Structure 1
Amino acid sequence: MTSESAAHTPALADDFLPGPVLLLGAPGVGKGTQAQSLMADYRIPQISTGDILRDNIARGTELGKAAKGLMDQGQLVPDEIVNDMVGARLTQPDVEHGYILDGYPRTLGQAEWLDAHLSSTAVERPGGEVLPLVAINIRVDEQELLRRITGRRICPVCKHIYNIYSKPPKREGVCDFDGSQLQHRSDDTEAAFTERMKAYNSLTAPVIEHYCRQGRFRDVDGDQPVEQVTAAIESALKELRQAGA
């Protein structure tokens, strides 16, 4: 086996079913990177509410039409529509062994709806026992998150991402690969980060408390190399499933 193929071999047993997984974490903790690793290791899909919403609108489904009408009026899409879209997505065959939820459940109401929905439709173990959703929170010090966000610079051509504090380009403000001028996104500011953190904490705290009460939650230290964070997440998943979650 080559070192490259070994990197994509599941860290856990071949018969391990990750089941439904919610990755939590503040802006900048690396949820997207970790989701990609779990998808590769366990061959399970990442389910994003943003992707589901765009797909329903593009296909002109009844839910998509309802959502688009509200969005065109500048209104938020209510939980009922989002819940129904997620429920429809979870009937597709690629979720048989598990999936990674991205951006959902975002509120306590959504979490409670999802629990009720999964009680009859969730992934099952070989013996038929339902696998409930488990939540893994990637935790990184807020000051480090601020450095990650405000220091981020992106090449508009090749999309390579730099950080002026931890991964700067060889020449200030210039992409190493194509010489393009790097861009600083307008929402990668301290003020924007502060507002995003306030919103995240107010919405996520009740969700975390919900899964903690049910023994279906673990914290993972995200302030370490990517591969070690992945290993910690997979270890936490195995621990939760072995404990009966």
Structure 2
Amino acid sequence: MLNLVLFGPPGAGKGTQSQKLIEKYQLVHLSTGDILRNEIANGTELGLEAKKLMDQGVLVPDEVVIGMISNKLDANKDARGFIFDGFPRTVAQAEALDILLASKQTAISGMIALNVNDAELEKRLLLRGKDSGRPDDADPAIIRRRIEEYNNKTAPVANYYKSQGKYVGINGIGSIDEIFTEICNVVDKF
């Protein structure tokens, strides 16, 4: 089973590249952001709490996210693999994900990190905010807080996968197709 963590700060292009990887490798997309936004759209209790936190640029509690992931894995038992988009965001989540996957007789194959500088991220997110309607993409202060949150809490996850020999960094600036080709060159070696 091919299980990939697509990693990078908000606006790095994870969603765009995930879609291309899903098509090529027939993976199930596991985006915690999409799962949370679905909960928000459905007006669930979890969705309302998640919206409040997301609008502030704050992370949703680990146990909630791990539970949602477990449910998604169970609902797709015959999948060729999964692409984890936007998760894990902390070392504790990475450890919990490893435990969860081991309980299901699988593991992370590798982490591919899209590296993009902060100025480019802010530009991309503001541009995306014009179309997405997401308040967290339209406010420069919230964008900076999200990037800071990523740099402080999420970036260390790369070291977790580096210690396992599963980390590969990719330049996330360039054309979508150039970046995708570079990602595929890495995936084909897993």
Q: TM-score range by the shorter chain?
A: 0.7 to 0.9
Identity over aligned residues, as a percent? 34
Matched with 1:136 is: 112
Q: Equivalences for 1:216-235 in 2 at 5 Å?
A: 216-235=166-185
Matching residue's letter, 1:101? F
Q: Which of 1 and 2 has greater Rg?
A: 1
Matched with 2:97 is: 114
The 1:152–1:95 alpha-carbon spacing in structure 2 relative to 1, beyond 3 Å, is same
Deviation, 1:55, is: 5.8
The 1:151–1:220 alpha-carbon spacing in structure 2 relative to 1, beyond 3 Å, is same
Unaligned runs of 5+ in 2: 54-58
Structure 1, residues 132-174: CA drift from partner, whole Å, max 9, x if none?
Answer: 342111012323223333455745xxx7xxxxxxxxxxxxxxx
Matched residues in 2 for 1:45 and 1:84: separation?
17
Matched residues in 1 for 2:41 and 2:139: separation?
32
Q: Equivalences for 1:80-229 in 2 at 5 Å?
A: 80-93=63-76, 96-122=79-105, 130-151=106-127, 154=130, 187-229=137-179
Unaligned runs of 5+ in 1: 1-16, 123-129, 160-182
Matching residue's letter, 2:35? I
Could you tell me the TM-score, scaled by structure 1's length?
0.63
Instruction: Assess if the C-alpha contact under 8 Å between 1:44 and 1:94 holds in 2.
Output: no
Matched residues in 2 for 1:110 and 1:21: separation?
15
CA RMSD of aligned residues (A): 3.3
Could you tell me the TM-score, scaled by structure 2's length?
0.79
| Greater helix fraction, Structure 1 or Structure 2 | 2
Matched residues in 2 for 1:184 and 1:101: separation?
21
The 1:136–1:200 alpha-carbon spacing in structure 2 relative to 1, beyond 3 Å, is same
The alignment partner of 1:132 has SS state of coil
Matched residues in 2 for 1:56 and 1:188: separation?
21
- More deviation in 214-223 or 47-56? 47-56
Deviation, 1:233, is: 0.9
Deviation, 1:189, is: 4.5
Equivalences, count? 184
Higher relative contact order (CA 8 A, sep 6+): 2
